[in-house]
Amino acid sequence: MRIISGKLKNKSINFLKNSTTRPLKDSVKENIFNILNHSNLIEVEIAKANILDIYSGTGSFGFECISRGAKKVTYVEQNNAAMKVLKKNIVKLSIEKQTIVINDMVENIFEKYRKDKYNIFFLDPPFNDNKFLQNLHFIKKHKFYNKKHIVIIHREKSSKDNLDSLLKTLIIKQYGRSKIIFGTFN
């Protein structure tokens, strides 16, 4: 795996080779950033953004954001094996000052970081996990988002998640098995 663009372009990152995590494919990641940069439906700029990367795995989405000028990325990951690789990647890329790494549940992090507001939320839960809906509800309820924000969710294309009460869906794209949903809290 590699970083596609920005100041860290072409730097390699480590990933897990197991069945519990799945890396975000470079082609899907590139399409996400093309939409972020070029869609007139999205009012958020990556440069200077505050990112919350939930189910962050080994960190590729957040690394891409930092490479493109994001101010800070807060990673939330519960899988210990993924957490170890994530921390190694952060050191390898020398971006410790731009990252916060949390090995906990989303509901527990906001007590400590309640003053933080985020511009970009990226959720990449396991395809069979629906707990991310509770995470979205929690974030919305406590208004941990800036006025200009975007929520990006990576799901399996056949998933039938009901997001209507949580998000205003702006864009849905499919790439192979993946479905990428862009929306804002309504």
Whether residue 171 lies inside any domain: the answer is yes
Whether residue 114 lies inside any domain: the answer is yes
Q: Phi-psi bin for 178: left (phi > 0), alpha (psi -120 to 50), beta? A: beta
Instruction: For residue 12, give the nearest of 120, 85, 101, 84 by alpha carbon.
Output: 85
Question: Phi and psi for 27 in degrees, rounded to 5?
Answer: -65, -40
Whether residue 112 lies inside any domain: the answer is yes
Looking up residue 90, the CATH number of its domain turns out to be 3.40.50.150
10-19, 58-67, 72-81, 134-143: least confidently modelled range: 10-19
CA angle 62–107–92, rounded 5-degree value:
25
**Residues of the chain with pLDDT > 70: what percent?**
96
- pLDDT tens digits, 22-81: 678 888 999 999 999 999 999 999 998 999 999 999 999 999 999 999 999 999 998 899
Whether residue 7 lies inside any domain: the answer is no
Number of H helices, E strands in the chain: 5, 7
At 101 the pLDDT is 94
At 39 the pLDDT is 95
- pLDDT tens digits, 105-122: 877 877 776 678 999 999
Of the two residues 114 and 20, the one the predictor is more confident about is 114
Whether residue 2 lies inside any domain: the answer is no
State both tokens at 42: 């999205």
Whether residue 82 lies inside any domain: the answer is yes
At 18 the pLDDT is 65
Counting the structural domains of the chain, the total is 1
pLDDT beyond 60 at 19: no
**pTM of the predicted model as reported, rounded to 2 decimal places:** 0.94
Of the two residues 104 and 163, the one the predictor is more confident about is 163
Whether residue 47 lies inside any domain: the answer is yes
Whether residue 5 lies inside any domain: the answer is no
For residue 171, the enclosing domain spans 26-185
